[in-house]
Structure 1
Amino acid sequence: MTLVLTVLEIVAPVFLLAAVGFGWVKLGFEYRLQFVTRLAMTLAVPCLIFTALVNTTLDPAALTTLTLASLVAYAAVSGIVLVLVRVARLNQSTYAAPLIFGNTGNLGLPLALFAFGEVGLEYAVVVFAVMALLSFTYGIWLVAGAGSFTKALKEPLMWATVLGAVFLWQDWKLPTFLDNTLGLIGQMAIPLMLITLGVAVARLSPGGIGRAMVLSLVKLAICIGCAWVAADWFALDKAAFGILVLQVATPVAVTSYMLAEKYGADAQSVAGLVVVSTLMSIGALPLLLAVLL
């Protein structure tokens, strides 16, 4: 009973904030999705990543190990998904990237914070940064069929990650006033992303629900399996182990829908994956947390 209450205390704030965004749209209030998303991804999230790395109390070697484990996990997921897409004769541009990459930002970061505390958030930032960089490069190549590695160089979160890693490596610290300022900006990232997730889901027009249900279950199984094996292989400690599995297992991100729409893939099918996998995560992620805690 105590474990059930603990899990509910962790997941309830996450899904309640998403529900606020969902209800906001359904009540007819204005929400400028593009503006808020840009604010979060170009300002709030980079500040969150940078300050988390600069102020981390974790051993740099542990962060390096988690980075390598994340790369191995995503490589394994990618390999299995590409085989699956080919065998099932699915369109690679539509289905590959959504089945590989999850919502490690909107859902993964707050879940990590509530489940494992500040240490969990510091670990989760590493996995999120790895996923984001892969998504902005390899992920766009899967959707667009053309290289877009220069896009990653234009993303503030990439530079926040690199700069934060340099500060961590050199053991540099920020002046207190600047650290407090960037910290305040970073603190708005998590509630912004959760509310925006609810808004985005409310506005999507999903298609292919039956196929989306099957593929969402398959994605969940592949991601948990690959992350679990990678975490075990690198002998991660309990918190890092749980964070890697939780982050990789998150549902399809709304950004997958945006990329599909931008590059001419089947956006409605991707919308179906976003909606179904997100709803499925309401039941799946608490069960996963109960195992990991």
Structure 2
Amino acid sequence: MFFQIVSIVFPIFGVIVVGYLYGRRRRPDMIATNQVNMDIFVPALIFSALVGRSFEFAEVRMIAIGGALIVLGSGLLGWPVARLAGCSPKTLLPPMMFKNAGNMGLPLLLLAFGDKVLPAAVILFLIESVMHFSIGTYWLGHNVNIWRLFRDPVFAAGTAGVLVSMSGVALWPPFMSAMKIIGDVSTGLMLFSLGVRLNTAPFAEWRIGAVGAIATPVTGMLVAWVFCVASGLSSAEKDVLLLFGALPPAVLNFMFAERYGQEPQKVASIVIMGNLAALVAISAALAIRLSS
């Protein structure tokens, strides 16, 4: 089991390490690269994944419900943790709720369980993104721009992919091949970019960072486990949700904290330390599922 877990986790963190080492030596400015990735490559990946399969919402309905409950449940469980840690709930709870479903979640679920879980992984990514841009934005800044959400390339690609798949329309195969080639760029680039960002991690706020690094996967997996037991899900659905619950905080949490002036240095420490500690949390989640 140990070697099976290592074989799943190593490629993810191997790419992150390469990004970290390159970033430490060259200090590249990844802003433009990340923008292109989120505007072009990730939407192409999501669109081609959804269009290339027969997509029925009924097939991923429980995954969608479970994902939403993991996000909300992590926030509820995190509230007393924030009080005990002596920090603002607006600082700790968003990183606990909104996970790294893009940079790490998509490639990790694909490597762990294969292409068959891609629709479920994409649905979780979309749900987490919608909740982050709506609930998260309103909570931090009391300002929700629904039109901006619909214009977001990732959300638009996911919506278009679902609609085309449900319509049964077959798109021109060369066009789909081009979408797949473009989309395949996104996975490695997301992980590489995360590694580069680790070089800018502020470790001064190590205490709150450690609290967030521990609380994020613990609360996420706990909510996922309770939902899986209560709902009688299939083994494959349990695999996806438990691993989703173990994911570390999304980098986007730091960007939102910086935008709204919500202790961005502390949030950055939570995000960075959470992603560093993800190797243990993800390995634990995989061990639980592989041993069951």
Would you call these one fold, judging by a TM-score over 0.5?
yes
Query: Which letter maps to 2:4?
Result: T
TM-score by structure 1 length? 0.92
Where does 1:4-153 land on structure 2 (aligned, <5 Å)?
A: 4-27=2-25, 29-56=26-53, 60-82=57-79, 84-85=81-82, 90-153=87-150
Instruction: Say which is worse superposed, 10-19 or 257-266, in terms of deviation.
Output: 257-266
Query: Which letter maps to 1:12?
Result: F
Query: Which letter maps to 1:288?
Result: A
How far did 1:89 drift?
5.1
From 270, 273, 277, the equivalent of 1:276 is: 273
The answer on whether the counterparts of 1:99 and 1:219 sit within 8 Å (CA) in structure 2 is yes
The answer on whether the counterparts of 1:19 and 1:198 sit within 8 Å (CA) in structure 2 is yes
How far did 1:143 drift?
2.4
Q: Which whole-Å CA distance do the structure 2 matches of 1:54 and 1:280 have between them? A: 35
Query: Which letter maps to 2:266?
Result: S
Instruction: Say which is worse superposed, 31-40 or 78-87, in terms of deviation.
Output: 78-87
Mind listing any 5+ residue stretches in structure 2 that lack a counterpart?
none
Count the aligned residue pairs. Answer: 290
Q: Which whole-Å CA distance do the structure 2 matches of 1:148 and 1:81 have between them? A: 26
**2:224: which partner in 1?**
227
TM-score by structure 2 length? 0.92
Q: Which whole-Å CA distance do the structure 2 matches of 1:135 and 1:93 have between them? A: 13
Instruction: Say which is worse superposed, 4-13 or 84-93, in terms of deviation.
Output: 84-93
How far did 1:286 drift?
1.2
How far did 1:266 drift?
0.8
**1:194: which partner in 2?**
191
Q: Which whole-Å CA distance do the structure 1 matches of 2:93 and 2:144 have between them? A: 16
Q: Can you list the C-alpha shifts for 1:228-277, whole angstroms capped at 9, x where unaligned?
A: 22233333322222112212321112111111112211111011111211
Q: Which whole-Å CA distance do the structure 2 matches of 1:16 and 1:5 have between them? A: 15
Instruction: Say which is worse superposed, 9-18 or 53-62, in terms of deviation.
Output: 53-62
- Identify if the C-alpha distance between structure 1 residues 79 and 172 changes in structure 2 by more than 3 Å, giving closer, same or farther: farther
Instruction: Say which is worse superposed, 191-200 or 64-73, in terms of deviation.
Output: 64-73
How far did 1:171 drift?
2.0
- 2:237 is paired with a residue whose SS is helix
Q: Which whole-Å CA distance do the structure 2 matches of 1:130 and 1:262 have between them? A: 22
| 1:184 counterpart = 2:207 | no
Mind listing any 5+ residue stretches in structure 1 that lack a counterpart?
none
